[in-house]
Amino acid sequence: PNTGLVTMLDARSGEVLAVAETGPDSYAEGQLLLDPGRGLLYAVNLTDYTCSVLDAGSLESVALIEGVERLALDAENDLLYLAGNGALRLAGAASRETRREVRVGEWSRFLLSDLDAPGNRLYLAYNDGGRYVLGIYDTPSLAEVASLTLPGRPDDLAADGQRGRVYLTLDDGRQS
């Protein structure tokens, strides 16, 4: 498979400042997540379910986390939420050590995630054996609050804790 690449650009000039190889990522679809407080960039490698942790200033490799398809950061509470290998894990953002883990679905393939930290909710969209699901989880306990079957494959997800809303774009398989 192809190697995933992360490219750092100067925001003003567009100049390429650095390029880092991560892990196997055939389609370069892996999620990026920035932790500006720690100066870290997380790059998910979907082909082997790993996450490369990079120094955001240089793109030098810092660590590799196993079993990751999606992740979310609660910087204020120093927490990292990791979804992969059919499980949801809560880890310390600094140590990346798992503090709690729960199983999700039967044959889950995680697609999207978003965090409403003040509302104590994590939203995970996943494919569970051909059925698309939105799972809603309580962040302190990782307990499932609700599970909703979706009428199509989710393409994007945004949570709005202030309004108590979750927004999704869905592909129902029909061309419109």
User: Mind listing the pLDDT tens digit for each residue in 36-70?
Assistant: 999 999 999 888 889 999 999 999 999 999 999 99
Residues in Cβ contact with 75 at an 8 Å cutoff, skipping those fewer than 6 apart: 35, 36, 37, 93
pLDDT at 150 over 90: yes
Instruction: Quote the CA–CA distance of 43 and 4 in Å, as a whole number.
Output: 9
pLDDT in tens, 68-114: 999 999 999 999 999 998 899 999 999 999 999 999 987 788 888 99
Name the band, by pLDDT with cuts 50, 70 and 90, for residue 27.
low
pTM: 0.87
pLDDT in tens, 125-135: 999 988 999 99
Phi and psi at residue 57, to the nearest 5°:
-85, -30
How much is the pLDDT for 111? 87
Instruction: Quote the CA–CA distance of 77 and 129 in Å, as a whole number.
Output: 33
Neighbours of 33 (CB within 10 A): 17
Higher pLDDT, 174 or 15: 15
Name the band, by pLDDT with cuts 50, 70 and 90, for residue 28.
low
**98-103 and 108-116 strand pairing:** unpaired
How much is the pLDDT for 25? 66
How much is the pLDDT for 98? 93
| Cβ 83 vs Cβ 68: under 8 Å | yes
Length of the chain: 176
The angle formed by the CA atoms of residues 109, 23 and 61, to the nearest 5 degrees, is 120
Instruction: Quote the CA–CA distance of 88 and 85 in Å, as a whole number.
Output: 8
Name the band, by pLDDT with cuts 50, 70 and 90, for residue 10.
very high
Residues in Cβ contact with 54 at an 8 Å cutoff, skipping those fewer than 6 apart: 6, 20, 22, 40, 41, 42, 43, 60, 61, 62
How much is the pLDDT for 15? 96
Residues in Cβ contact with 55 at an 8 Å cutoff, skipping those fewer than 6 apart: 39, 40, 41, 61, 62
Name the band, by pLDDT with cuts 50, 70 and 90, for residue 173.
low
Q: Residue 54: how many CA atoms within 13 Å on its side-chain side?
A: 27
How much is the pLDDT for 39? 96
How much is the pLDDT for 129? 87
